Amino acid sequence: MKREDILACPGMPPMASSYRLPPFQFTDRAALSITYESNADAVRAALPEPLVPDGASVIVTFVDTTDSPFGAYRACAVSLAATFEETPVSYSHALIVDQEGPIYASREVWGFPATYGNPELIIGENRVAGVLDLGYGQHLRGSIPVAEESDPASVSFDGTQVTCKIIPGADGKPAIAQLVSTKPEAITIKHYWRGEAQLETGAGSPLAPFPVQKIISGQYVLADMTFPLGRVMHDYLQESK
């Protein structure tokens, strides 16, 4: 392999990467999101500088996508409301996914904290529910009632997601240490409704560091969207020079 061949590889391993590079198109991506208020000190402790807490809001999202570059998969994400240079963003604190392809791509391209698990998004006759059971009491359950359709134009989909991407070099020192942002594009909302949310979490769940003090809102969205390449917002290695 020549140098240009190596640099053209989308990821590891060089001759058989598990993904191509974005943009990634998602069709019929279903998402149940529940926002709640937590402890401000806990949120501040989990946010990497220079991000600043935007209140003390935590967002739990259960995702089920049937048509993506990785096929069908399900995920559960925990995000923290923050600002970067006074711009609202959503910081990715945890991401649990049930397929290897999106785990590799989300970690290596954007730096999402993806790990393996078996989240579910269940649309019943009366409620839509998200379930994550990691065993030994590490469970997370959230739901909202199935409701009448709301106007898609009323959906708040700012959607700038921020990750802390850290990759060590062979010497054990960080080779990459960045805050990375990405924002979905070409969004088409197909179904949308809001409802009074319920949320239950056990010890050891991804929400354990962020106690539930007050549930703010819940919404269900079915949409098509595209995730592009990310942008480096802050480089910790450059900062130290």
What tens digit of pLDDT does each residue of 188-228 get?
999 999 999 999 988 788 898 999 999 999 999 999 999 99
Rounded Cα–Cα distance for residues 159 and 231 (Å): 14
Q: With cut-offs at 50, 70 and 90, classify the pLDDT of residue 157.
A: low
DSSP string spanning 131-150?
EEE-STT-EEEEEEE--PPP
**Residue 48 corresponds to which amino acid?**
P
Residue 142 inside a domain? The answer is: yes
Q: What is the CA radius of gyration of the chain?
A: 18
Residue 143 pLDDT more than 90?
yes
pTM: 0.92
Q: Which of 195, 181, 185 is nearest to 50 (CA)?
A: 181
Residue 212 inside a domain? The answer is: yes
Calculate the average pLDDT of the chain.
Answer: 91
In the chain, how many H helices and how many E strands?
A: 4, 14
SS3 40: helix
Residue 210 inside a domain? The answer is: yes
Identify the pLDDT of residue 134.
Answer: 79
The better pLDDT of the pair 148, 226 is held by 226
- Look-up: residue for tokens 């990310």? 230
Residue 237 inside a domain? The answer is: no
Print the domain residue range for 107: 22-156+183-228
- Kindly list the strands in the beta sheet with 139-145, ordered across the sheet, starting from the edge strand earlier in the chain: 120-123, 127-133, 139-145, 198-201
Show the tokens assigned to 154: 């009323």
CATH number at residue 32: 2.40.400.10
What single DSSP character describes residue 108?
A: I
Rounded Cα–Cα distance for residues 229 and 101 (Å): 16
Residue 13 inside a domain? The answer is: no
Residue 31 inside a domain? The answer is: yes
What single DSSP character describes residue 113?
A: -
Given a contact cutoff of 8 angstroms between Cβ atoms, the answer to whether 66 and 86 are in contact is no
Q: With cut-offs at 50, 70 and 90, classify the pLDDT of residue 149.
A: confident
Identify the pLDDT of residue 5.
Answer: 86
Residue 241 pLDDT more than 60?
no
Residue 237 pLDDT more than 60?
yes
Residue 54 inside a domain? The answer is: yes
Q: Please give the tally of structural domains in the chain.
A: 1
Where on the phi/psi map is residue 153: left (φ > 0), alpha (ψ -120 to 50), or beta?
A: alpha
Q: What is the pLDDT of residues 28-45, one digit of tens each?
A: 999 999 999 999 999 999
Residue 3 inside a domain? The answer is: no
Q: What is the pLDDT of residues 44-101, one digit of tens each?
A: 999 999 999 999 999 999 999 999 999 999 999 999 999 999 999 999 999 999 999 9
